[in-house]
């Protein structure tokens, strides 16, 4: 299959989802070594989960299918340019390559505007819309010290 074939599958998932009540108009396919290991659509509303974007759902399925948290060697095909959360998940999953169809401006015109998140991230933490309060700073270091000293940890 070609990159366009995998993208057609992602777009088909998004189209089917757009015509239903299961979530938004987004679909994603993850491929490794020429085989589809996971595919998913957005299920935010049906799952009552704001993190259930197509890319995140596909990453979760791929990790389960491959028995790993590291998706190195994988490519994700997504019907739309990933939002900041999905982009972060792609980086954390170590996915090698992203192909997308619609871009963030197309998504914004359809009511899915994530530009405010990019703007928020560029602001100092004290100026963001969501209030952040740092407390228990000293106690909060304990888990990190324990992690650094754990000789049996699995780095990721």
Task: Provide, rounded to the nearest whole percent, the portion of the chain with pLDDT above 90.
Answer: 90
pLDDT-derived band at 38, boundaries 50, 70, 90? very high
Predicted confidence at residue 107, as pLDDT, reads 94
pLDDT-derived band at 156, boundaries 50, 70, 90? confident
* pLDDT one-digit tens code per residue, 98-127: 999 999 999 999 999 898 998 999 999 999
Query: C-alpha dihedral over 16, 20, 21, 22, to 10 degrees?
Result: -20
**Residues forming the active site:** 55
Predicted confidence at residue 155, as pLDDT, reads 87
Task: Provide, rounded to the nearest whole percent, the portion of the chain with pLDDT above 70.
Answer: 100
* pLDDT one-digit tens code per residue, 131-153: 999 999 899 999 999 999 999 98
- β 35-41/27-32 pair status: antiparallel
User: Half-sphere exposure of 151 toward its Cβ, with a 13 Å CA cutoff?
Assistant: 0
């Amino acid at each position: 299959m070609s990159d366009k074939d995998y993208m057609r599958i992602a777009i088909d998932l998004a189209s089917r989802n757009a015509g239903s009540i299961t979530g938004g108009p987004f679909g994603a396919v993850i491929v490794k070594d020429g085989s589809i290991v996971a595919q998913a659509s957005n299920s935010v509303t049906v799952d009552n989960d704001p993190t259930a974007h197509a890319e995140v759902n596909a990453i979760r399925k791929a990790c389960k299918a491959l028995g790993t948290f590291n998706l190195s060697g994988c490519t994700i095909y997504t019907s739309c340019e990933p939002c900041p959360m999905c982009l972060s998940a792609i980086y954390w999953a170590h996915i090698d390559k992203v192909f997308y169809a619609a871009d963030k401006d197309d998504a914004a015109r359809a009511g899915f505007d994530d530009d405010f998140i990019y703007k928020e991230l560029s602001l100092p933490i004290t100026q963001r819309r969501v209030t952040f309060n740092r407390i228990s700073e000293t106690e909060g270091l304990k888990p990190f010290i324990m992690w650094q000293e754990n000789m049996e940890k699995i780095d990721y």
